[in-house]
Structure 1
Amino acid sequence: MARREKGYTPVYSDERSATSLDNVEVELSEARAKQPSQWHRFRSWTLHAIFIIAYSTIFVISMIRGRLSAGVFSQIDCMLNSLEALFWNQTLILITAPPRAIGDETHLEVFPIQGPPHGKYTGEPRPEVDQAWKDLLQCPVSDEWVHRWGRQHEAVKLPDGGYLGMLSVFHELHCIVCSARGSECVRVANLGHQKRLYQTLSPKYYFPNATDKEIAINREHNQHCLEVLRMGAACRGDISIITHMWTDKDAQPIVNQTAPHQCVNFNQVMDYSRDNAVDVYQDNYIVHPKFGPSFPHGHSIKPFKEQAMGRHH
């Protein structure tokens, strides 16, 4: 029989939820004070540099003396691995140049998802939900970034400089609810459907006149969105520990949703996007090299339900 610790009250109830969150907030406050400072990060980089220089010195001396033993080969392999890791870390810093304005500071945050879904982004279909999801913007990408990736021959050039792009976080959010501002939504709306996972929960509200073909294509796009979200989650690999707890409703444990996650400042992400927003729906603003202006007469920014299906160009 497992020993029951003093003060252990394992059954979760609605009355305990507020106390549980308060305790987590106290723990988060203590954890924030323990987060590594910039000095610690600088010291870590310095130590890595010293190790790399040391391995490089060993390699050069061994080559000069012609004593490439098995042990030295092992040292060379380790050195190359260190150099490769350093190269990719520095490359990642360079290729993410546009979002660098957001900063690299993170904070611990508890997702408010314990209990039934609530908030302005979820719930039954209503104008407030649609409006909340509209503020997902396009932004320009610098010539330097596009040339570094070798995409200057395929990227969409903007008439006032730079190229059309978006932060990856908005691509994933578009997969949940595709904003009327997203160019992907407009292209899909031409076929009479939009790839929105949230909207597919209420098809009669958002897609009242969809044909069988449009529903099938929408399903294909939803599969794409699920894969985008899966790969995004795997890429970031959130390793926050999620525990379980008992309830007074049945014998099966439930997930305790109060796990702290390490998050960026999303307000800064939104500020950066707003400050660099591009209205691609201006008359004749972006021009396809073969088919001409993408939006020769602009585009009406309306919720999908208000748009006549298949009539937008």
Structure 2
Amino acid sequence: MSSPSTTDFSDSDSQSLLQNGEDKSLTKKGDTCASAYRDPNSQAYTPAWKALKWETKRLNNQLNVSNPYKGPPSPAFEKAWDELLDPKAIKVDKQTLENINHTSVPLLDGSGYMAALDVFHQLHCLRWVRIYLHRDHYEIKEKNFGQHIDHCLENLRQYVMCKADLSINTFEWIPNYSRPWPNFDVVHECANWDSIKEWARANSFDGFDNTLIQHPDYHPELPDPFSYDDGSNEV
């Protein structure tokens, strides 16, 4: 099956659609699906907006399809997820914090403030759900592991409903199965992941560098308020 193509629309085309309030599929003859216009003013502010490059992709998640992120724990599996979750921390400037009406931890060298792109937190949560599925293998020490996983599942639920992917799932008949079977080969509008990773790496720093990050009033002799084991060195 041929891959879907993308179509570029001029600013005037996009503005016309927005001003007229029309609900139109941004496709042209011969295209399976086309890139949709995105107005940066309509999105929650992020300095990474410039890294967003939208494209249509056919995501194949059939049950028998393998990839580096699926399957039982293995050294190759852990390496793939480690690379996926890197970088964990980025630095932002004061203007960014003002734009989102938040404060954050300042870096001790004065170069900015600690932050992270939320997509990496969502991936972190997915990884920990997978770890929970194989918890006997990982020998988890975290005292409050159940609450951690519950937080992750709730975070993912909110995110999935927030983004509300309206891509169409289709169904088919398969031998000796009485009900229509979903075809998990689905066309989606996707952000180009390589572009996001490139931006994140260019703005990253080591979030566990004690020369940059130090609690101003930390007492290690006191109990952790969340009863979490932070030995994983993950955000």
Report the TM-score when normalising by structure 2.
0.76
Give me the whole-angstrom Cα distance separating, in 1, the residues matched to 2:187 and 2:173.
Answer: 20
Q: Against the structure 1 CA distance between its residues 241 and 311, is the aligned structure 2 distance closer, same or farther, given a 3 Å change threshold?
A: closer
Q: How do residues 278-293 of structure 1 correspond to structure 2 at under 5 angstroms?
A: 278-291=205-218
How many residues are matched?
Answer: 204
Aligned equivalent of 1:275: 202
- From 126, 140, 146, give the equivalent of 2:74: 126
Tell me the secondary structure at the aligned position of residue 233 of structure 1. Answer: helix
- From 149, 173, 176, give the equivalent of 2:123: 173
Give me the whole-angstrom Cα distance separating, in 2, the residues matched to 1:113 and 1:201.
Answer: 19
CA contact (8 A) 1:112 1:258 kept: yes
Tell me the secondary structure at the aligned position of residue 119 of structure 1. Answer: coil
Give me the whole-angstrom Cα distance separating, in 2, the residues matched to 1:261 and 1:310.
Answer: 36
Consecutive unaligned residues in structure 1, runs of 5 or more: 1-21, 49-87, 178-195, 294-308
Q: Structure 1 residue 99 and structure 2 residue 48: aligned?
A: yes
Q: How do residues 215-230 of structure 1 correspond to structure 2 at under 5 angstroms?
A: 217-230=144-157
Q: Against the structure 1 CA distance between its residues 230 and 130, is the aligned structure 2 distance closer, same or farther, given a 3 Å change threshold?
A: same
Q: 1:174 corresponds to which letter in structure 2?
A: H
CA contact (8 A) 1:108 1:263 kept: yes
Q: How do residues 4-43 of structure 1 correspond to structure 2 at under 5 angstroms?
A: 22=1, 25=3, 28-29=4-5, 32-33=6-7, 36-43=9-16
Question: After the TM superposition, which segments of 4 or more aligned residues of structure 1 sit over 6 Å from their partners?
Answer: 309-313
Give me the whole-angstrom Cα distance separating, in 2, the residues matched to 1:312 and 1:228.
Answer: 20
Aligned equivalent of 1:69: none
Tell me the secondary structure at the aligned position of residue 164 of structure 1. Answer: strand
Aligned equivalent of 2:107: 158
Q: Structure 1 residue 110 and structure 2 residue 58: aligned?
A: yes
CA contact (8 A) 1:117 1:123 kept: no
1:229-258: CA deviations, max 9, x gaps? 111111111000101111013212211112
Q: Which structure dedicates a bigger proportion of its chain to helix?
A: 1
Aligned equivalent of 2:161: 234
- From 146, 155, 175, give the equivalent of 1:248: 175
Give me the whole-angstrom Cα distance separating, in 1, the residues matched to 2:154 and 2:42.
Answer: 26
Give me the whole-angstrom Cα distance separating, in 2, the residues matched to 1:252 and 1:89.
Answer: 43
Q: Against the structure 1 CA distance between its residues 311 and 265, is the aligned structure 2 distance closer, same or farther, given a 3 Å change threshold?
A: closer
Tell me the secondary structure at the aligned position of residue 133 of structure 1. Answer: helix
Q: Against the structure 1 CA distance between its residues 288 and 310, is the aligned structure 2 distance closer, same or farther, given a 3 Å change threshold?
A: closer
- Aligned-CA RMSD value: 2.8
Q: Against the structure 1 CA distance between its residues 226 and 117, is the aligned structure 2 distance closer, same or farther, given a 3 Å change threshold?
A: farther
Tell me the secondary structure at the aligned position of residue 107 of structure 1. Answer: strand
Of structures 1 and 2, the one scoring higher in RCO (CA 8 A, sep 6+) is 2
Aligned equivalent of 1:17: none
Q: Which structure: larger Rg?
A: 1
Give me the whole-angstrom Cα distance separating, in 2, the residues matched to 1:311 and 1:266.
Answer: 28
